[in-house]
Structure 1
């Protein structure tokens, strides 16, 4: 059956001003130098410096202080080496250190393409002939790392598409590390990668029909510690862990608009972006 396709005039353009935060990993020497300078500040100096950062970052990010604290937590080992303990450090200096280890990443600076459309689960409050939809795009940013972004809109009975206004902030997902695996599905994946063999079967026989990443990891470690494994078996176990790390769940806050949600690379298998 012939289908006539008419190109519409709607355009979605990449916006290099759309940014998310990432952890800024300095070299050890640089990191310790930054932290020491902040430790040497008095509280007024630290507060003034922090307020400057807050004024700048808060324009583009929701709950920036939470982000600063997350990034501060990744520097604690440096602080403990310098001072012996981070426990007595003030909240202001914690936030300031976190800000110096926070950078912005432009999600759409290179391109926005590969649209894909699905029906929105919420079809309420629409006129006759209208359909609410969600469109995903592949966004390519700095260093050409790909991620997935979204827009919502409505198609009317004449097939005209109207996109909803875009949100102001990006809301990154929470990564659920305790992902539960279905053994039957995992076996299918092992077959696809040609590693369903004696050692992988032995590992899975020790697990239930559903299992968590930690269950798999502990069982594999036990096998590595107690069994005499040949090179092929060792390779299989490494590949099983690699596959497990490649599967995870993400969860977005309910108060974020679909246009503010982004799926950014997480696992090592996605280090060059999400295809």
Structure 2
């Protein structure tokens, strides 16, 4: 029952179900953010050079300062949202190095901030690995059209990844167009978020913190009696630890570990007048200091009918990876938090768009080469995965994983997969999971749905097509996909023909 395929000049097979659209999204080096720059501390030098820089900035004549700042504002203010506010925040970082009697003019404060600011081209190297969800704003569209919110992995200098966005319109029919990505970028404002004791307890346990000092802190966060409100203030919880415990030699290190982990919960708010393509989720915690990779967004519907946006992504600190969770009501305000549990220890988690059997479900790749299914009561702490789909076909001999969240159809959960085969070629396949029991694969596409052909075999990482999420609109599966870890394309597939091409699982 293998469907018709035709050979290409590259030796791959092009599936006749797929239509590739002339929508291409390439990296734009003019998409820049202004980030904090601390000479000496940004690289491998052991000492900061900030003191000397501050002294030289303070020694400049006021007239020269005014001229420098006027030039800076002329050149850079149009490129950034709230450029003066950014400089002021960065100046505040080094203000403790300013001699106490010194009074800084507004211009000198801005100059000081500019000395510790650098532009970073978020897409200077690549833009890849997209996911697609229904955009929260559907205004101004003709009948039959749908606006998509596309998440993107943007890669810049030093291979640092952030999460960017684009908007596209699909329909009516097989039409697709990318909306303009104009205007200055913004990384929003990051603020800490208060923890719930149960959630913090799970994450601390995940990091090996299960001792009497930790338990004393958590006890102070818990409600003192049934029905009373918890106190989420971590500082008061620290102060409530019995003095005898604080005298233990390990106590300072334990408290520092708790504070570090508690700081891993963040909320990022973007200006209300910013458009989605102007927003960039930039690393804000230590676990993602070397990048935020491969966000898999899904539009999640709760049992009461409320809808929000959720995504898992991989945080990388230069040594270790850790899955994290993004939640947002509107793609403007985001909360980011660590995930816990045995299944949350590898790349590639993908959330189901609703509860199944009263529980949160997710696909994962706990063993590094197979797809598993995991469950959670709260969507934060995930149970050990059970095997679901391993490497079997020729195009997935090395490993297999998911290409985003499962899509609900009348026939079952349509799940796109990525398979890695000979010559480390990445292709996109498809399996079908039972609607009521997603732990059971009921059918699979026997050949790749999408394989790199022609110029798709070229890129920063050759022979790779990869997606982090797709959706169905008016009977068509719309599949944005990364090409060579460099750029993005768009394909569509008739869902009924795709399901008909699948063969029962054995």
Superposition TM-score, scaled by structure 2 size: 0.48
Cα distance in 1 between the residues matched to 2:209 and 2:56: 52
Contact 2:133 2:148 in 1 (8 A): yes
Q: Structure 1: which 5+ runs fail to align?
A: none
Contact 2:91 2:109 in 1 (8 A): yes
2:89 corresponds to which residue?
70
SS at match of 2:177: strand
Q: Would you say 1:158 and 2:173 are equivalent positions? A: yes
1:89 corresponds to which residue?
104
Cα distance in 2 between the residues matched to 1:230 and 1:99: 43
1:60 corresponds to which residue?
79
1:51 to 70, 85, 92: 70
The 1:229/1:155 distance shift into structure 2, 3 A limit, reads: farther
1:171 corresponds to which residue?
186
The 1:196/1:116 distance shift into structure 2, 3 A limit, reads: farther
Cα distance in 1 between the residues matched to 2:289 and 2:119: 18
2:394 corresponds to which residue?
none
2:123 corresponds to which residue?
108
1:143 corresponds to which residue?
158
1:40 corresponds to which residue?
59
Q: Structure 2: which 5+ runs fail to align?
A: 4-14, 41-46, 224-229, 294-506
Shift, 1:89, TM fit: 2.0
1:266 to 260, 265, 284: 284
2:267 to 249, 261, 265: 249
SS at match of 1:74: helix
Shift, 1:124, TM fit: 3.0
Cα distance in 1 between the residues matched to 2:281 and 2:288: 11
Higher strand share: 2
Superposed CA offset, 1:63-117 (max 9, x none): 322222212212212212xxx333x221121112222221111111121111011
1:204 corresponds to which residue?
218
Higher helix share: 1
SS at match of 2:35: strand
SS at match of 1:219: helix
Contact 2:191 2:267 in 1 (8 A): yes
1:184 corresponds to which residue?
198
The 1:261/1:78 distance shift into structure 2, 3 A limit, reads: same
Structure 1 runs of 4+ with >6 Å offset: none
Cα distance in 1 between the residues matched to 2:231 and 2:187: 26
Superposed CA offset, 1:102-161 (max 9, x none): 111111112111101111122233222111110000111111111000011211132432
Contact 1:180 1:211 in 2 (8 A): no
Contact 1:107 1:141 in 2 (8 A): yes
Contact 1:19 1:60 in 2 (8 A): yes
Superposed CA offset, 1:15-61 (max 9, x none): 12211111221357843343333333332221112112222212312
Superposition pairs of residues 12-27 of structure 1, within 5 angstroms: 12-27=25-40
Shift, 1:223, TM fit: 3.3
Superposition TM-score, scaled by structure 1 size: 0.84
> RMSD of the TM alignment (CA)?
2.8
Cα distance in 1 between the residues matched to 2:50 and 2:113: 11
Contact 2:81 2:186 in 1 (8 A): yes
